[in-house]
Amino acid sequence: MSNSHVKIFDTTLRDGEQAPGCSMTLREKLRVAKALSELNVDIIEAGFPAASPGDFDAVKAIADENRGPIICGLARCNPDDIEKVHAAVKGADSHRIHVFVATSAIHREHKLKMAKEEIIRSAVGAIKMARELCDDVEFSPEDASRTELAYLAEVVTAAIEAGATTVNIPDTVGYTVPHEFHQLFRYLKKHVKNLDAATLSVHCHDDLGMAVANSLAATNAGARQVECTINGIGERAGNCSLEEVVMALKTREEFFGLTTQIDSTRLYPTSRLVAGITGMHVPRNKAIVGENAFAHEAGIHQHGMLQHASTYEIMKPDDVGISKSNLVLGKHSGRHAFRSRVQELGFDLDEFETNRAFQEFKKLADKKKDMFDGDIEAIIMNADGASTGPWILQALQFQSATDETASASVKLIHENGTTNEISATADGPVEAALMGLEKVTGIALTLRNFELRSATAGDDAQGEATVTADFEGESYRGHSASVDIVEAATRAYLEVINRILRRQERGVLKNRQTADVNQASI
């Protein structure tokens, strides 16, 4: 591989998924992994197998199913973590074990309570063990950007000597700035004598809003792998955004002299997919994939654009997979056109799912005059949630007026054939409907977050509701869309309840339905 190639290491499913509110189901992770393969990332970090049996299963399923990118799993420097990663990733055509240990004085003293030499011994032992299981081993000195330079060089030298094939330098707390980080990489280039035996990588967090700039500075100083996430999701302020770093390298190729193998036309669909699944919506003004990224409002800009697009446009919407007009299909569109648009949007539905989504599309097209990509995405996300069962919403009625108590009546049918209808009253119709759901299902939740947004433009747009609620110390997310926002909220809440009931059925959770539903804290 040429020295101008920058590997894209995607950690959406590990560092991204770890962020509050971003957890994904196995099915959702598989869908994201497939989209990442189509995007042509070099490496997918699929998870942290030792974190939980669910994480292990997800990494294994991704490794067994995905062909193309290297599948990687994260491990601390201990034999159990390393064995778990190996067992999870070994089914992939190519796989990697990623081991890490913190090296900064702050982490050494306050978190690990380990001396410098102990940390090096632990890293070396872990890397050697991982190399016995796998030829491709990455090592990360966590909090590298706050580690003493001479000690960092010592750790990196020892890691490469022990067999690390990639050495990743994380700015774990998003503390560094581009010029300083560039100097850090130059320092390592100068003082780590065996550095050429490994690929140098960079991993930045966005606490000061500089993750992309810092990653680019590192590539300028010799890094040839960038770790990043779709839409920049990740702990706290997030990670380096994949779409931004890729498009910066592509748009300014003459300046950087570097290339990636990413199919940039898959950036927008992948971004939409991850936003839809995680409920972490992309701000309108977000670079590359935000709704306004290619919109030109000011008259003077529009005039320039009409003369020549390059006056105000440094990238074309097509380059990142945004079609000129995303007004896509209408009520007369056929199943074939629907199916190919669904595929272009990055979804891979089987026959049954396509038919179900197409029927929903037709129903919606009767209600709405214009259908957009966002509508199709909302339908598919809806179908995903609805398929969780066991309760299905059969009817919803509600009443509300200013300064009056609202009421709602929900009618649910269980897959065992039981039908149950209950009414509830509350301050507003959404609250009343959610209380009705709790009464019928016997599951009382603590609502943590409730978001409502419009799926597309227009006054007949669908409302998308995303609900995060807690049950027995764990958070669950539900998502739904409808032209009726009370219905969207009710379906999203029901999705959460269904997920919990399914977990109870599988024995993951105790079947302890909350009797006193009046205690419901919604």
Chain residues that interact with ligand KIV, rule: CB under 6 A: 15, 100, 140, 142, 168, 170, 172, 203, 205
Closest C-alpha to 330, from 363, 367, 369: 369
As measured in angstroms, the least distance from the Cβ of 144 to ligand KIV is 8
As measured in angstroms, the least distance from the Cβ of 178 to ligand KIV is 18
Nearer to ligand KIV, 134 or 144 (CB): 144
As measured in angstroms, the least distance from the Cβ of 355 to ligand KIV is 41
**In degrees rounded to 5, what are phi and psi of residue 319?**
-60, -30
Answer whether the bond into residue 79 is a cis peptide, omega within 30°.
no
Q: In whole angstroms, what separates CA 310 from the centre of its chain?
A: 32
CA–CA distances in Å: residue 472 to residues 228, 469, 513: 33, 10, 11
Closest C-alpha to 276, from 203, 185, 382, 177: 382
Choose the stretch contacting Zn ion; rule: CB under 5 A; options: 7-15, 173-181, 303-311, 384-392. 7-15
Binding-site partner at residue 480 among ligand KIV, Zn ion, none, CB < 5 to 8 Å by type: none
CA atoms of 454 and 475, how far apart (whole Å): 24
Residue 15 within binding range of Zn ion, rule CB under 5 A: yes
Nearer to ligand KIV, 69 or 170 (CB): 170
As measured in angstroms, the least distance from the Cβ of 42 to Zn ion is 18
Residue 171 within binding range of Zn ion, rule CB under 5 A: no
Residue 28 within binding range of Zn ion, rule CB under 5 A: no
Say whether 116 sits in a helix, a strand or coil. Answer: helix
Q: Which residue is nearest to Zn ion (CB)?
A: 15
Binding-site partner at residue 286 among Zn ion, ligand KIV, none, CB < 5 to 8 Å by type: none
Nearer to ligand KIV, 168 or 271 (CB): 168
- For 472, the token pair is 């027995």
- For residue 56, the number of C-alpha atoms closer than 13 Å in the C-beta half-sphere is 13
- For 184, the token pair is 């850090």
Annotate 310-360 with DSSP letters as a single string: GGT-SS-GGGGT--S--B---TT--HHHHHHHHHHTT----HHHHHHHHHH
As measured in angstroms, the least distance from the Cβ of 51 to ligand KIV is 12
Binding-site partner at residue 431 among Zn ion, ligand KIV, none, CB < 5 to 8 Å by type: none
As measured in angstroms, the least distance from the Cβ of 321 to ligand KIV is 28
Choose the stretch contacting Zn ion; rule: CB under 5 A; options: 11-19, 32-40, 355-363, 502-510. 11-19
C-alpha torsion angle, residues 47, 99, 53, 231 (rounded to 10): -20
CA–CA distances in Å: residue 502 to residues 387, 499, 505: 11, 5, 5
Nearer to Zn ion, 240 or 517 (CB): 240
Binding-site partner at residue 100 among ligand KIV, Zn ion, none, CB < 5 to 8 Å by type: ligand KIV
Residues that bind Zn ion (CB under 5 A): 15
